[in-house]
Structure 1
Amino acid sequence: MTGTIPHCLTSFRGAEGNRVRATVWGEGSGPVAALMHGGGQTRHAWEGTARRLVASGWRAVAVDQRGHGDSDRSLPGNYAFTDYAADAALIFDQIIGALGQRPVAVGASLGGVASLLVAGEIAPQTVSALVLVDVTPRTDPNGVDAILGFMGERMHEGFASLEEAAEVIAGYLPHRPRPRSLAGLRKNLRLGQDGRYRWHWDPRFIDGPRPISTDREHIPLRCVAAARRLTVPTLLVRGQMSELVAEEHVRDFLTLVPHATYVDVSGAGHMVAGDRNDAFAAALVNFLCNLEAA
């Protein structure tokens, strides 16, 4: 989908007073989706989805979560799931104040865990529905380790060029067609003064004093409890080739949340929107249209 769609850059306040940058897509008074990316991504991962939503009459708020993209890095290095959930609760509340609608929280991986904790525990009144993108309360620990290993392998060394970064990504995601342009990749990398490109997120996300692996054994239990308490309409979208979410995890989730809807996207791995944005966006829009019709 091409063409100019109204969008603007804005800021929200996180739990530490940290500035959280976001792009608001669309105008008017239509319903709102808050798009929360996965670990190591930025708000730009949602551009195709946001365009599709706007074309369907929705507004979309694509967020750079703390330490990612153009948002502030945490001064004390706080990057646990609970830190992201605390930010998300405040962001959703500020979206209500700014746009006049309770958002549908659409969260991929990290963003999904944060959104689940908000919807089922911290501030359920701030969301109207929940969409989890390839994340469930329990996931495959080997898949988690593989993703964190890939993220951490070059986070300090970086890459000599965008082409080198593209080669590394292609080796990790062999199922994904290579993009014709490196412009999208440029948005996820920063060019340092030494001439090397590094990921557009704080390395302390992986190796800091309070990294994403904090309370790794406790967080799934907390997510299970949050899932049991969900009352809002809920959609789970899984990548059929997911490294994290197996069919058994889906069955467990649907037992916890019997009112949830489930979609399996063929040809997609963990990064569903990046692998098959056409199929993902279609499933999301269908779910949202059903919400409006209900």
Structure 2
Amino acid sequence: MSAIERLTLRGAGLDLAADATGPVDGQPLLFLHGSGQTRQSWGKALVEAARHGFRAISLDLRGHGDSDWSPDGRYDLDLFADDLRAVLTQLEQPPAVVGASLGGIVGMMVAAADPAALRALVLVDITAHVDMEGANEVIAFMSAGADGFASIEEAADAVSAYLPHRDKPRSSKGLAKNLRQRGDRWYWHWDPAFMSMGVDAKQQAEGPTVLESAARGLTIPTLLIRGGRSRIVTEEGARAFMEMVPHADYVHIDGAHHMVAGDANDAFNDAVFAFADRQLG
């Protein structure tokens, strides 16, 4: 098993934390997480990518994980896209991007504007249209933790209530990576200003034409993975995306919710690496 290396990459005016593994001269696979998540979301996928001979890199987006927070509290989509463009200049060759939710949107925007920037794109439960009822559930969960938690166990209970379909882990050690202690309270490891900007679903609702234009502008190999029980991307939304991007591949994973990689990791990896091996091998 390849060792995990900690990297610091330069975004658009700030530092971004990343993990990397696999051969240094391998085709880069860049993993971008969703709103409120961190680079830790891709742990098993990184290992599998290295096993397939890829240079796997998972990035903390600005305001998340160990990356810097926006000094002016801004988190609009263009800034995330600018960060990605800056990161691309530091890689040996154009990567394929695997992006969940917000990360997928950023990858789609950059790929549509400059098709040569990315080799391929995997969109994990995100398209140009988002079901707002499901998106509001995500926003409510993220907002509910704004005042922090008395303990890691209390945070774990909140996650279990939000994700009742998942078995609660016996240990909360993994969850602790997504929390930081300030005083006697534990807080999610993202900038609170990120929520006030309404990033991700709310911005999509206000400006869907931007994302529709990005989707229609995709020319690189593209894969859409949808969780069969997702409340963010409906089956109708997936079909609409495939009409916008007729060359795209589509994988529907039964039983998975919005966070597909965590809900059905083996099926997720099978879909990603079948596509990656075919397009990048």
Cα deviation, residue 216, structure 1: 4.0
Cα deviation, residue 56, structure 1: 1.2
Residues 1:116 and 2:108 aligned together = yes
Residues 1:132 and 2:120 aligned together = no
Query: Residue 230 of structure 2 aligns to a residue in which SS?
Result: coil
Query: Residue 89 of structure 2 aligns to a residue in which SS?
Result: helix
2:41 to 25, 30, 45: 45
2:143 to 136, 140, 152: 152
2:156 to 154, 166, 169: 166
2:3 to 2, 6, 11: 6
Q: Which region of structure 1 is more displaced relative to structure 2, 175-184 or 266-275?
A: 175-184
Contact 1:34 1:92 (8 Å CA) reproduced:
no
TM-score by length of 2: 0.96
Which position in structure 1 is the counterpart of 2:95?
Answer: 103
Query: Residue 57 of structure 1 aligns to a residue in which SS?
Result: coil
Residues 1:250 and 2:238 aligned together = yes
Residues 1:281 and 2:269 aligned together = yes
CA distance in 1, matches of 2:148, 2:185: 6
Give CA-to-partner distance per residue, 1:81-136, whole Å, 9 cap, x none.
Answer: 222112112212322xxxx2210011100101111000012x33210000000000
* Aligned residue pairs, count: 280
Contact 2:122 2:222 (8 Å CA) reproduced:
yes
Which position in structure 1 is the counterpart of 2:210?
Answer: 222
Contact 1:21 1:71 (8 Å CA) reproduced:
yes
Contact 1:272 1:280 (8 Å CA) reproduced:
yes
TM-score by length of 1: 0.92
Contact 1:93 1:126 (8 Å CA) reproduced:
no
Contact 1:26 1:60 (8 Å CA) reproduced:
yes
Which position in structure 1 is the counterpart of 2:27?
Answer: 31
Indicate the RMSD between aligned Cα atoms, in angstroms: 1.4
Residues 1:196 and 2:188 aligned together = no
Q: Which region of structure 1 is more displaced relative to structure 2, 176-185 or 58-67?
A: 176-185
Percent of aligned positions with the same letter in both sequences? 43
Cα deviation, residue 259, structure 1: 0.6
Cα deviation, residue 189, structure 1: 0.5
Cα deviation, residue 181, structure 1: 2.1
Cα deviation, residue 211, structure 1: 4.0
Residues 1:205 and 2:194 aligned together = yes
> Unaligned regions of 5+ residues in structure 1, if any?
none
CA distance in 2, matches of 1:219, 1:63: 26
Give CA-to-partner distance per residue, 1:169-218, whole Å, 9 cap, x none.
Answer: 111101112223212101100011x22110000011112xx441674445
Amino acid of the residue matched to residue 233 of structure 2?
V
Contact 2:96 2:118 (8 Å CA) reproduced:
yes
CA distance in 1, matches of 2:150, 2:2: 34
Cα deviation, residue 5, structure 1: 2.1
CA distance in 2, matches of 1:241, 1:60: 28
Q: Which region of structure 1 is more displaced relative to structure 2, 41-50 or 173-182?
A: 173-182
CA distance in 2, matches of 1:117, 1:171: 33
Which position in structure 2 is the counterpart of 1:234?
Answer: 222
CA distance in 1, matches of 2:224, 2:33: 15
Query: Residue 122 of structure 2 aligns to a residue in which SS?
Result: strand
Amino acid of the residue matched to residue 212 of structure 1?
V
Q: Which region of structure 1 is more displaced relative to structure 2, 71-80 or 6-15?
A: 6-15
CA distance in 2, matches of 1:26, 1:179: 28
Query: Residue 244 of structure 1 aligns to a residue in which SS?
Result: coil
> Unaligned regions of 5+ residues in structure 2, if any?
none
Contact 1:138 1:249 (8 Å CA) reproduced:
yes
